[in-house]
Amino acid sequence: MSTPPHTVDAFVEAFLRELNVGQGVSLARSSVNDQALALARTVRHHLMARWLEAIATQRRSPVKAVGYLSAEYLLGRQLDNALLATDLLDVVREGLAACGLDLDTLRDAELEPGLGNGGLGRLAACFVDSLATMNVPCIGYGIRYEYGIFRQTFVDGRQVEQPDTWLTLGSPWEFPHPESAQQVDFAGYTETYVDDDGQERCRWVSGWHVVGVPYNYMVPGYRNGRVNTLRLWSARATKEFDLEIFNSGDYADAVRARTFAENITKVLYPEDSTPQGKELRLQQQYFFVACSLADYMFEVLPRDFDMTRLHERIVFQLNDTHPVIAVPEMMRLLVDVRKLSWDDAWAVTQKCFAYTCHTLLPEALEVWPVDLIGRLLPRHLEIIERINAEFLAEVRERFPGDELRVRRMSIISDYPERGVRMAHLATVAATKVNGVAALHSELLRDKVLPDFSEMWPERFTNVTNGVTPRRFLKQANPRLSDLVTEAIGDGWITDLDQLQGLEPLADDAEFRARFRAVKRSNKERLADLLRRRDGYELPVDSMLDVMVKRLHEYKRQSLKLLHVVSVYEQIVSGRVDPASVVPRTVVFGAKAAPGYRMAKETIHAINCVSAVVNDDPAVKGVLSVVFPSNYNVTLAESLIPAADLSEQISLAGKEASGTGNMKLALNGALTIGTDDGANVEIRELVGDDNFFLFGMLEPEVATLAEHYVPSRCYEEDDDLKRAIDLLSSGAFAGGDRTAFEPLVSNLLYEDRFMALADYRSYVDAQSRVDAAYRDPDAWARAAILNVARCGFFSSDRSMRDYIDRIWHTEPAPAGE
Ligand SMILES: *Cc1c(COP(=O)(O)O)cnc(C)c1O
C-alpha cells in the first residue's frame, strides 16, 4: 500500500491519475461526474490501508464484536464524511483549485444513498459512526437497495414520487465481493432423517434460492485510524437457477426469473412507522439476515469455531423487529447445519441477540401471517412453534391457571388471523430489550409489553438515542464548530459533554454577538440553497421556524399548519396589526408514504397555504411558509444549522424518541415541544426557561382518549374555529371549498392524535416564543445554553450505554 498523498501536489497527482486511468478521461474533457468519481476514489485510498488492517485484526483477535442488524441505513453523502475523518479537507480544496475545479461543485454531484426512511435508518448510520470513532469492532449488516427512498417532487402542490436512481452515475464508495456471496433458500418443505450417529434430524428441502452478494462500505472513525465495515447485501439469481431455465429453452422465462430473484433488493419500502405486511418485505428481511448470520458465523469466524461459545465473539443488535427472523435462522444454523442439540443451541442463541423497540404505535408492530411464513420459510415456522411451546410452558409454570395471560404473551396470535408477533419473538430471545428514550422505555414496559416486563423485569432497559456530532455539528455547521472550538478547544468532537464549557459564555455579550452572526450566516447559506434549489426567497431577518421529519399524523404537521393559518387569519381579518407580529418563516420538510392518504392531503394543504401566504402583500415581511421538496440528510445538513425554532409537537406518548429534536437543539435552536420522547430529556437538561413546553401529558392523553370529541374544541375556541373555517372556505384553493375536505373532516370528526385538543396550549406557547424572540440577545443566550447542555445527545454516549448495559464489549486493541 503506497503512502497516501497528504500534500497538495501529491493529491493532485493521485487525483489526475484516477481521472485518467480510473475514469479514462483527460481533465480537459472530463464531466463533473467524472471528476466527482475520481475524487471519491482518491479520497478512499486514504482509508483503505486502515480498513484492511481492521478487518485483519478482527479476524485474528478474540475481541467481541457488535453485529448491527438493520434493514435501513440512511447514510447521507459519503465524501464530506471521509474528508472529515481523514482531515483532508484543506488539501483537497486546494488541490482541486489548482486543477481549476471547485470542491463544492463536486460535492453537490454526489447523490446520497437513501437506504432508509427517516429516523430509524439515520440512527443506524449514527451508531456505526460512533462505534468506529470509539474503536469498537462492529459490522453493520443491511440491504443494498437498488432504489432507495423515493425522490419527492411536487406537482400542483401534491407529492409525486420519482424513483431514486442513486447508483446510475457510479458508486465509488462501495466494494462488491461476489466471491463471498451467500446462498439463501426459500419455500419447499422439511423432512426428518436419521444422521450417521443415529440421531433424528430435520432437513429443509428448499423450493428456490437466490444468492446474496455483499457490498462493503467503509465506516471511518474520526481521525483514530479505525475503519469498520458496513456490509450491504444485494440479491442475484444463481447460476444453477440460470442453467435450469436455459435448459427449459424459454429465454423470456429465464429473464423473468432473473428479475424475480433480483427483485428482493430492488426497492426500499417507503413506509415509516406503519409497515405493510407484504411478502416481498419478508423476503427482504430473511434474505439479509440469512446472508449476515452465515457471513459472520461461517466466514468471519474460523471454520472450526465452537458455536457454543458464539456469544463470546458477537452480539447481534436487532434494530426494530425487521431483522427478528434472525432468531429462528440462528437456531436453524446451529441445530440443522452445525448439529448442536436444541437446548445448547437455544442457550447460545439467547445470549447472542438484543432487541431495540422503536415504537408505541400498535400498528407498527410487525405480525407476519403464519401461512406466509409457513410457505416461504417452512423450517423457521417449525422452529418458532417450538420456541413458542417451550416459552408458553414457562409462562404456565410461572402463572398457573392464567390462560388469558398465556394467550396475550404467545408468540403466535390467533386473531384476526394466525400470525407471528415479531416483537414477542424478539423479547423471548433477547438478553435485553430497550426503548429509545426514558419515557418510551417506561411506556414500553408498562403498556406495550407489560406481561413480559412482569415476567422478566431485568430484561428491560433504556438507551436514549443520540446523533453523531461529527456529521451534525462539525460537518453540517462549520461556522458554529469553529466558534465552539475557538472557545473550548476541539475535544468536544469526540467527547460532546465538553460543550458544557460553553455555559459561562452564554453570559458573554461578545460571544452572543458572534453566535448570532453564525446563525445569520447559516441562514444566508440556506437562502442561497433554497433559491437555487426550489425557487424560494428566504427572508433571512425573520425567525426560522422549522418542522422537518416524516409526514405522519402522530407527528402533527396539521397542528403546525393550523398555527400558520391562525396567524395569517388574524392579520388578514384585521384583528392583529402586522406591525406587532414577530416576522417568521415557517419551514416544512417531509416525505409521506406513497399510500398514506391523509399524509399526502396534509402536504397538499401546506403547499396551497404556502402559495397564498407567500403571495399576499398583507403578510409580506411578517409570515412566509416554505416547503422544499425531498427532505433528506443532505437537506437536513443545510436546514438545521439555520434554525431558530425546532418544532417537536407529536402527541404525548406517540414519538418514541426523535433524533431531529437532538440535531436541532445541538445547533442552537430552541424547542417548542410536547412532553414526549426525548423532548422530556432535552427539557430536563436545557432547563424550562430554554424550552417551550405545551400540550397534554401522556396520562392526560390516555384519559381524554376515552371521551374525546374534537368538534367540541372547534366550537369552543374562536381562533381555532376561524382557522378551520378559513381552511374550508376555499381561500387557499382558488375558491374550491372541497379541496381540504378530507383533512378538515378528519380533524373535526376523528383526530386520532388530538391536534385540536392541544391547539390552544400550542398557540399560547407560540406567543411565548414570539415574546422571547423579541429580545434577540436573551434568545441567543438561551440558544447557547441549548448547545452547551446537549452533549448528552451524542450517539457516542448512546453507544457507551449499549456497551455498559447490553453488549459488554470492549474497544479493540490498537492496531499495529
Ligand atoms: C434525523 C432525521 C430524521 C428523523 O427526524 P425526527 O424529527 O426525529 O422524526 C428523519 N429524516 C432525516 C433525513 C433525518 O436526518
pLDDT digits (tens, 9 = 90+) for 459-488: 999 999 999 999 999 999 999 999 999 999
Domain ranges in the chain with CATH number 3.40.50.2000: 62-76+112-464+801-807, 542-787
By mean pLDDT, which of 46-55, 298-307, 715-724 is the weakest?
Answer: 46-55
**What is the CA(188)–ligand 1 centre distance, in A?**
41
Give the length of the chain.
816
For residues 626 and 408, give the distance between their C-alpha atoms in angstroms, rounded to a whole number: 47
Does the annotation count 659 as an active-site position? yes
For residues 570 and 623, give the distance between their C-alpha atoms in angstroms, rounded to a whole number: 12
Closest atom of ligand 1 to CA, residue 657: 8
Kindly report, residue by residue over 406-464, the tens digit of the pLDDT.
999 999 999 889 999 999 999 999 999 999 999 999 999 999 999 999 999 999 999 99
Q: Closest Cα to atom 9, ligand 1: which residue?
A: 549
Q: What is the mean pLDDT of the chain?
A: 95
Percent of the chain with pLDDT over 90: 89
Q: Pocket of ligand 1, candidates 548, 630, 649: which has the most ligand atoms within 8 Å of its Cβ, to mutate?
A: 548
Q: Closest Cα to atom 1, ligand 1: which residue?
A: 660
Q: Bridge partners of 196?
A: none
**What is the CA(659)–ligand 1 centre distance, in A?**
6
Q: Closest Cα to atom 3, ligand 1: which residue?
A: 119
For residues 39 and 55, give the distance between their C-alpha atoms in angstroms, rounded to a whole number: 24
Q: Bridge partners of 795?
A: none
Task: Give the per-residue pLDDT at 3.
Answer: 46
Q: Is the CB of 234 under 6 A from ligand 1?
A: no
CATH of 542-787, one of 3.40.50.2000, 3.40.1390.40, 3.40.50.150, 3.40.50.850: 3.40.50.2000
Task: Give the per-residue pLDDT at 113.
Answer: 96
DSSP alpha helix (H) spans, 206-278:
239-248, 251-262
Specify the CATH architecture of the domain 62-76+112-464+801-807.
Answer: 3-Layer(aba) Sandwich (3.40)
For residues 291 and 295, give the distance between their C-alpha atoms in angstroms, rounded to a whole number: 6
**Grid cell of 6 as nine digits:** 497528504
Residues 50, 474, 550, 563: which is the catalytic one? 550
Q: Closest Cα to atom 7, ligand 1: which residue?
A: 660
Kindly report, residue by residue over 574-592, the tens digit of the pLDDT.
999 999 999 999 999 999 9
**Grid cell of 275 as nine digits:** 409497515
Q: Is the CB of 77 under 6 A from ligand 1?
A: no
Q: Is the CB of 633 under 6 A from ligand 1?
A: yes
**Grid cell of 735 as nine digits:** 375558491
Q: Pocket of ligand 1, candidates 127, 273, 358, 549: which has the most ligand atoms within 8 Å of its Cβ, to mutate?
A: 549
Residues 659, 671, 674, 809: which is the catalytic one? 659
Residues 358, 445, 471, 474: which is the catalytic one? 358
Res 814 pLDDT > 60: no
Q: Is the CB of 781 under 6 A from ligand 1?
A: no
CB atoms within 10 A of CB 125: 27
C-beta separation of 781 from 514 below 8 A: no
**Grid cell of 479 as nine digits:** 461556522
Kindly report, residue by residue over 516-529, the tens digit of the pLDDT.
999 999 999 999 99
Kindly report, residue by residue over 196-219, the tens digit of the pLDDT.
888 899 999 999 999 999 999 999
Task: Give the per-residue pLDDT at 276.
Answer: 80
What's the average model confidence in pLDDT over 85-106? 96
Does the annotation count 46 as an active-site position? no
Contacts of 591 (CB under 8 A, 6+ apart): 118, 149, 150, 152, 159, 270, 550, 551, 630, 631
Number of H helices, E strands in the chain: 32, 25
Task: Give the per-residue pLDDT at 244.
Answer: 62
In the DSSP assignment, the letter for residue 295 is I
Does the annotation count 563 as an active-site position? no
From first CA to last CA, the distance across the chain in angstroms is: 15
Kindly report, residue by residue over 187-198, the tens digit of the pLDDT.
999 999 998 888
Q: Closest Cα to atom 6, ligand 1: which residue?
A: 660
Q: Pocket of ligand 1, candidates 117, 659, 662, 679: which has the most ligand atoms within 8 Å of its Cβ, to mutate?
A: 659
**Grid cell of 300 as nine digits:** 468471519
Does the annotation count 550 as an active-site position? yes
Q: Is the CB of 659 under 6 A from ligand 1?
A: yes
Q: 243: pLDDT confidence band, cut at 50, 70 and 90?
A: low
Task: Give the per-residue pLDDT at 361.
Answer: 85
Residue type, 668: G
Q: 812: pLDDT confidence band, cut at 50, 70 and 90?
A: confident
Task: Give the per-residue pLDDT at 360.
Answer: 87
What's the average model confidence in pLDDT over 396-411? 97
Residue type, 242: D
Res 763 pLDDT > 80: yes
What's the average model confidence in pLDDT over 284-303? 96
Peptide bond into 369 cis (omega under 30): no
Q: Is the CB of 551 under 6 A from ligand 1?
A: no
Least Cα distance to 322 among 269, 360, 245 occurs for: 269
Residues 654, 663, 781, 797: which is the catalytic one? 663
**What is the CA(16)–ligand 1 centre distance, in A?**
38
What's the average model confidence in pLDDT over 648-662? 98
Residue of higher predicted confidence among 628 and 59? 628
CB burial of 734-752 (b: ≥16 within 10 Å; e: otherwise) equals eeeeebbebbbebbbeebe
Task: Give the per-residue pLDDT at 2.
Answer: 41
Does the annotation count 239 as an active-site position? no
Task: Give the per-residue pLDDT at 9.
Answer: 95
Closest atom of ligand 1 to CA, residue 74: 13
Does the annotation count 549 as an active-site position? yes
Least Cα distance to 671 among 699, 645, 696, 704 occurs for: 645
Q: Is the CB of 118 under 6 A from ligand 1?
A: yes
Q: Closest Cα to atom 10, ligand 1: which residue?
A: 118
The upper half-sphere exposure of residue 244, i.e. CA atoms within 13 Å in the direction of its Cβ, equals: 9
Kindly report, residue by residue over 764-777, the tens digit of the pLDDT.
999 999 999 999 99
Task: Give the per-residue pLDDT at 689.
Answer: 97
Kindly report, residue by residue over 381-392, the tens digit of the pLDDT.
999 999 999 999
C-beta separation of 68 from 141 below 8 A: yes
Res 183 pLDDT > 90: yes
Q: Is the CB of 114 under 6 A from ligand 1?
A: no
Q: Closest Cα to atom 8, ligand 1: which residue?
A: 658
Question: Checking phi first, is residue 355 left (phi over 0); if not, alpha (psi -120 to 50) or beta?
Answer: beta
Task: Give the per-residue pLDDT at 240.
Answer: 63
C-beta separation of 115 from 145 below 8 A: yes
What's the average model confidence in pLDDT over 317-323? 97
For residues 150 and 163, give the distance between their C-alpha atoms in angstroms, rounded to a whole number: 5
Task: Give the per-residue pLDDT at 279.
Answer: 94
For residues 648 and 660, give the distance between their C-alpha atoms in angstroms, rounded to a whole number: 8
Least Cα distance to 753 among 682, 674, 691 occurs for: 674
Helix, strand, coil % in the chain, rounded to nearest 5: 55, 15, 30
Q: Is the CB of 152 under 6 A from ligand 1?
A: no
Task: Give the per-residue pLDDT at 816.
Answer: 37
Residues 380, 459, 555, 591: which is the catalytic one? 555
Closest atom of ligand 1 to CA, residue 648: 7
Res 4 pLDDT > 70: no
**What is the CA(461)–ligand 1 centre distance, in A?**
24
What's the average model confidence in pLDDT over 147-164? 97
Q: Is the CB of 465 under 6 A from ligand 1?
A: no
Task: Give the per-residue pLDDT at 277.
Answer: 80
What's the average model confidence in pLDDT over 125-145? 97
C-beta separation of 795 from 127 below 8 A: yes
Give Rg (Cα) of the chain: 27
CB atoms within 10 A of CB 598: 17
Closest atom of ligand 1 to CA, residue 467: 1
Task: Give the per-residue pLDDT at 241.
Answer: 56
